[in-house]
């Protein structure tokens, strides 16, 4: 189906399919050259980036079990392949799925949309920030999903991810999250989706104490960071809170989405509350937040689909795969988004130990997507990016910048 080869045993108890997802980005971050200034990122790299390069297998065994074993070879150059997904699911109870392994469990609306199907090249900053704490891809997870004609809910116990640096001397982090969504309207023309998400990182990653180098104030740290919603040329994070020693982190927020025929809109907002630990000089617990609104129009008249067991949109239908001989031009879609992310907290507190100046960014993005076939997609994105960041907790010099970016993605999947 959809051009993806799938093999089934005669009795349908077993299926097998290869997994491939190749996303090649190329783009430019076009900064002006005015000088002197205080920008800490004056010449952001332009160029290519393999954003995702998945190779693996998925399938069904003995009717009720499904698996996915996938490696990721993404990166700019000379990147190493690593484990992306090793997920085992049990589907023996109708309407329920039990998941265990390393996976991308469904947390927030945008993160529940497959990266094949997202409307712009990157997800909104706030979604990346909150999923990086308790969910996101390659996350050790055990949990359960339930879904039906007009609802979706899940709850997971999660640990570390397989693709970030390990706590080699300490113990793994532990968190729990839940997501619930409801579709009050769900007919052929109109889908209205509302939902809520809550996450709780109750055991931050632990580093063993080492006399003279790891103190109690450094033993359970988290840091929040985010890129300016593109990764052209391997662009890294500019916003960054630095390490904060915490006893727990709470995340909460909501999601809403509407599809009306070939139009769709979606928006989400999340709050992140940290509880400090062993840092007596700081008397306040920092909080961060972000939100976005995104809208799309399928120019060629098709509709975005909705995936019940993920509780989120998928790509629009491609009913006329590209073939210039027969006058078929695939499916075209236009998308726009405004995204806001604030990683500052107590920016001007009198007690400077309370100040967290991770920075703040606004990104306006316009995108055009061409789905040549169900498994070949080309994306063009234009962005206006405004990053504001103070030099340090006690230095009020502005080191951010604003600039335009232009780039795109070549994607094929199988």
Binding of residue 61 to a second copy (CB under 8 A):
yes
**Residue span binding a second copy (CB under 8 A) among the ranges 56-64, 116-124, 176-184, 341-349:** 56-64
Which residue, 37 or 64, is less far from a second copy as judged by CB?
Answer: 64
Using CB under 8 A as the binding rule, the residues of this chain from 80 to 139 that contact a second copy are: 80-83, 86, 88, 92, 100-102
**Residue span binding a second copy (CB under 8 A) among the ranges 54-62, 219-227, 244-252, 299-307:** 54-62
Binding of residue 329 to a second copy (CB under 8 A):
no
Spatial distance between the Cα atoms of 202 and 308, rounded to a whole number of angstroms: 30
User: Which whole-number Å values give the CA distances from 213 to 170, 208, 217, in the listed order?
Assistant: 14, 10, 11
Spatial distance between the Cα atoms of 164 and 205, rounded to a whole number of angstroms: 12
Query: Residues in contact with a second copy, total (CB under 8 A)?
Result: 77
**DSSP letter (8 states) at residue 62:** T
Which residue, 170 or 242, is less far from a second copy as judged by CB?
Answer: 170
Binding of residue 396 to a second copy (CB under 8 A):
no
Strand stretches in 187-276, DSSP E: 190-203, 221-222, 225-226, 239-240, 244-260, 263-276
Binding of residue 320 to a second copy (CB under 8 A):
no
Binding of residue 373 to a second copy (CB under 8 A):
yes
Using CB under 8 A as the binding rule, the residues of this chain from 258 to 317 that contact a second copy are: none
Spatial distance between the Cα atoms of 195 and 44, rounded to a whole number of angstroms: 37
Binding of residue 400 to a second copy (CB under 8 A):
no
Using CB under 8 A as the binding rule, the residues of this chain from 343 to 372 that contact a second copy are: 372
**Residue span binding a second copy (CB under 8 A) among the ranges 3-11, 129-137, 190-198, 337-345:** 3-11
Closest separation in Å from C-beta 43 to a second copy: 5
Binding of residue 62 to a second copy (CB under 8 A):
yes
Binding of residue 201 to a second copy (CB under 8 A):
no
Token code pair at residue 31:
């900064």
Q: Kindly write down the DSSP assignment for every residue of 396-413, as one continuous string.
A: --B--EEEEEEEEEEEEE
Residue carrying structure tokens 């990182």: 201
- Size of the chain, expressed as the number of residues it contains: 414
Closest separation in Å from C-beta 72 to a second copy: 9
Q: Are 109 and 269 in contact (CB under 8 A)?
A: no
Spatial distance between the Cα atoms of 341 and 359, rounded to a whole number of angstroms: 9
Which residue, 170 or 269, is less far from a second copy as judged by CB?
Answer: 170
As a whole number of Å, the end-to-end CA separation of the chain is 10
Closest separation in Å from C-beta 225 to a second copy: 17
**Residue span binding a second copy (CB under 8 A) among the ranges 75-83, 108-116, 214-222, 379-387:** 75-83
Residue carrying structure tokens 């098709």: 302
Using CB under 8 A as the binding rule, the residues of this chain from 218 to 257 that contact a second copy are: 233-234
User: Which whole-number Å values give the CA distances from 9 to 2, 271, 312, in the listed order?
Assistant: 19, 47, 30
Closest separation in Å from C-beta 210 to a second copy: 10
Member of 116, 150, 167, 186 binding a second copy (CB under 8 A)? 167
Which residue, 15 or 287, is less far from a second copy as judged by CB?
Answer: 15
Token code pair at residue 398:
């502005």
Spatial distance between the Cα atoms of 189 and 213, rounded to a whole number of angstroms: 61
Binding of residue 162 to a second copy (CB under 8 A):
yes
Using CB under 8 A as the binding rule, the residues of this chain from 5 to 44 that contact a second copy are: 5, 7, 9, 14, 16, 18, 20, 22, 24, 26, 43
**Contacts of residue 350, Cβ cutoff 8 Å, sequence gap at least 6:** none
């Amino acid at each position: 189906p959809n051009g993806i080869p799938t093999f089934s045993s005669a009795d349908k108890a077993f299926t097998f399919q290869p997994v491939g997802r190749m996303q090649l980005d190329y783009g430019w971050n076009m900064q002006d050259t005015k000088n002197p200034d205080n920008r800490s990122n004056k010449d952001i790299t332009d160029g290519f980036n393999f954003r995702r390069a998945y190779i693996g297998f998925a399938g069904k065994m003995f009717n009720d079990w499904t698996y996915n074993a996938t490696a990721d070879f993404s990166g700019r150059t000379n990147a190493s392949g690593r484990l992306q997904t090793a997920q085992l699911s049990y589907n023996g109870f109708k309407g329920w799925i039990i998941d265990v392994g390393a996976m991308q469990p469904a947390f927030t609306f945008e993160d529940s949309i497959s990266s094949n199907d997202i409307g712009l090249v990157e997800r909104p900053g706030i979604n990346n920030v909150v999923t990086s704490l308790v969910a996101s891809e390659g996350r050790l997870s055990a949990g359960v999903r339930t879904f039906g004609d007009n609802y979706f809910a899940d709850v997971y116990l999660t640990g570390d991810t397989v693709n970030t640096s390990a706590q080699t001397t300490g113990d793994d982090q532990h968190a729990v999250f839940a997501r619930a969504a409801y579709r009050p309207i769900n007919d052929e023309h109109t889908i209205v989706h509302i939902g809520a998400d809550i996450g709780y990182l109750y055991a931050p990653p632990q580093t063993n104490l080492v006399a003279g180098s790891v103190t109690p104030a450094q033993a359970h740290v988290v840091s929040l960071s985010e890129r300016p919603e593109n990764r052209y040329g391997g662009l890294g994070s500019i916003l960054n809170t630095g390490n904060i020693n915490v006893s727990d982190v709470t995340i909460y927020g909501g999601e809403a989405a509407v599809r009306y025929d070939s139009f769709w809109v979606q928006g989400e907002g999340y709050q992140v509350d940290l509880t400090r630990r062993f840092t007596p000089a700081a008397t306040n617990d920092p909080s961060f937040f972000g939100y976005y609104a995104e809208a799309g129009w399928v120019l060629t008249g098709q509709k975005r689909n909705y995936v019940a067991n993920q509780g989120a949109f998928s790509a629009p239908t491609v009913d006329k795969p590209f073939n210039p001989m027969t006058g078929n031009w695939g499916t075209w879609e236009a998308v726009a988004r405004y995204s806001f992310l604030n990683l500052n907290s107590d920016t001007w507190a009198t007690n400077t130990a309370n100040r967290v100046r991770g920075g703040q960014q606004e990104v306006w993005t316009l995108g055009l997507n061409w789905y040549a076939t169900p498994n070949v997609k080309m994306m063009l994105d234009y962005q206006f990016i405004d990053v504001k960041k103070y030099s340090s907790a006690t230095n009020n010099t502005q080191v951010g910048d604003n600039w335009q970016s232009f780039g795109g993605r070549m994607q094929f999947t199988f």
